[in-house]
Amino acid sequence: MTTADAVPVVFVHGTRFSAGQWSMQLAALRDEFPVAAVDLPGHGKRSAQPWSLSSATEIIASAVDSLDRGPALIVGHSLGGYAALEFARCRPERLRGLILAGASASTRGLRAVPYRWVAGLVPRIPADRLARWNDRLLRRLYPPEVVEATIRSGYAFHVLPAAWGEVLGRFGADAMRSVKAPVLILNGEKDVVFRSGEADFARAHPHARVELIPRARHLANFDDPDAFTDAVRRFARQLPAVS
């Protein structure tokens, strides 16, 4: 595949993070693919922007347009995966492929109860304390080159209640029926919660498959950046050409 033929790839970060989450993937893939990573509403450089899924889809669409290569492969992690599903529903003509990472659990019913509880708890804890906890956790678990861009970008705890408040109750495996492009469900092997519906999600789409990253948890692109990047690369190379 030549650079001119390469699939454009847009990365969408998870809860509380920003585009910095994808620093390792962007560095590894940019020589082969046109790549971009977005800040969702209320996150990163858009920290002052109110959250909404409709705004998230517009931001993803703008990133696709900025690469100027036609429909793109969207890679969404956790909250970003559900935003990517909404983008797939609203902007199918701009989607060439979809990777859902840590975003194949239903957000409806009893499974959503713990997340509603967390979304209600977070505003009660000072943001600076949450940031210190996150900094220490990330630095304890991962090498600096993996997490420093995320840490520098800060965290969006203030938007968590609104973001998950809109996502919860909205997405189940039936959301896959709105996706008109091939799908890779890419999960960490140990991400028990967010891969709980992966089989249902895969069955709901005629061109979806599941791939697991061994020993990885919810932040699979931090746990094994090379394996995560390789999975994205292989999937992007296999996508059919735009007719």
Q: What is the pLDDT of residues 214-230, one digit of tens each?
A: 999 999 999 999 999 99
Q: Which pLDDT belongs to residue 109?
A: 79
What's the average model confidence in pLDDT over 130-141?
A: 96
User: What would the pLDDT profile of 176-186 be if each residue is shown by its tens digit?
Assistant: 999 999 999 99
Of 74, 123, 135, 67, the closest CA to residue 100 belongs to 74
Are 173 and 111 a contacting pair, CB within 8 Å? no
Residues in CB range of 4: below 8 A, 6 or more apart: none
What's the average model confidence in pLDDT over 120-142?
A: 90
**Backbone torsions φ then ψ of 32, nearest 5 degrees:** -105, -35
Residue whose token pair is 């220490």: 136
Of 24, 6, 14, 15, the closest CA to residue 158 belongs to 15
Are 231 and 183 a contacting pair, CB within 8 Å? no
**Could you give the angle at which helices 53-67 and 79-90 cross, rounded to 10 degrees?**
80
Q: Which pLDDT belongs to residue 2?
A: 43
Tokens coding 82: 């559900």
User: b vs e for 194-215, b when ≥16 Cβ sit within 10 Å of the residue's Cβ?
Assistant: bbebbeebbebbeebebebbee
Q: Which pLDDT belongs to residue 117?
A: 65
What's the average model confidence in pLDDT over 101-126?
A: 79
Q: What's the pTM?
A: 0.95
User: What would the pLDDT profile of 16-48 be if each residue is shown by its tens digit?
Assistant: 999 999 999 999 999 999 999 999 999 999 999
What's the average model confidence in pLDDT over 110-130?
A: 75
Chain centroid to CA 32: 21
Name the average pLDDT for the chain.
Answer: 94
Are 130 and 159 a contacting pair, CB within 8 Å? no
Tokens coding 231: 């999975």
Tokens coding 152: 């520098």
Instruction: Average the pLDDT over each of 106-110, 134-138, 184-188 and give the range with the smallest value.
Output: 106-110
What's the average model confidence in pLDDT over 86-99?
A: 98
Query: What percentage of residues in the chain have a pLDDT greater than 90?
Result: 87
